[in-house]
Amino acid sequence: MFEMLHYAYEHLEECKLILCCSEGTKFSGLIDEMVEIEAEATHSYQKVLEELGRPSPKIDPALEHILITGMFHTFFELVIHEMPLDDAENYVKEMRAFYTAGWMKIMGQ
């Protein structure tokens, strides 16, 4: 998340254009593509948990999609509103703690 944040801030104008003004372009589905990648990573993590003898309950695909989408929208609010970078880094730490705790609870860990 920190690498994404720094990349977005290094390319702030371009990222804001994609996030706020890309409807009708090939970039309009960026967040949906990121959600799919994150969902695949979640499934890989669940396989690892199972291999370690700590299987997680099945997560409803619709709920999974909603939670991951919400996570990315939360993250991109920092970029859209051009939070000062120091504040944004602190917010990312808090967001990561928040989402990690939630995912661990849902996954029964």
Q: Is the pTM of this model over 0.85?
A: yes
pLDDT at 57: 93
pLDDT at 7: 98
Name the band, by pLDDT with cuts 50, 70 and 90, for residue 34: very high
From residue 87, give the alpha-carbon distance in Å to each of 4, 14, 21, 39, 71.
Answer: 15, 21, 25, 28, 18
42-75 residue pLDDT tens: 999 999 999 999 999 999 999 999 999 999 999 9
